[in-house]
Amino acid sequence: MVSQDLLDILRCPACVREKEGLLEYYKETWLICQDCGRKYPIVDDIPVMLIDEGDKWVDTAKEDLPIPPPNPA
C-alpha cells in the first residue's frame, strides 16, 4: 500500500508544469491523472511514474485496467 503522505505529493509528470496533475488512487494498484487520463501502475507498492508507462494505458478505461498491473518492460 502506498502511504497517504506520498499520495498527497505525487502529481502526473506529464501535466504538473501546466496543470495540477492530480492523481486518483484506483484500487490500490493504479494512479490515474485527472487532467490527461494517463494511468500509472503501482508495482510492489512503488508507483511507476514514467510518462512512457502512463502513455501505454491512456486509452484503457479504468474499469479495464489489469489488477494487479503487469511489471513494466
- Domain annotation covers residue 39: yes
Residue 73 lies in a domain: no
User: How many structural domains does the chain have?
Assistant: 1
Per-residue pLDDT 10s for the chain (73 aa) are 889 999 999 999 999 889 999 999 999 999 999 999 999 999 999 999 999 999 999 999 999 999 999 887 6
- Coil, helix or strand at residue 33: strand
* CATH of residue 44: 2.20.25
- pTM of the entire predicted model: 0.91
Lookup result for grid cell 503522505 = 5
In this predicted structure, what is the pLDDT of residue 17?
Answer: 87
Map residue 48 onto helix, strand or coil: coil
- Looking at residue 73, its pLDDT comes to 64
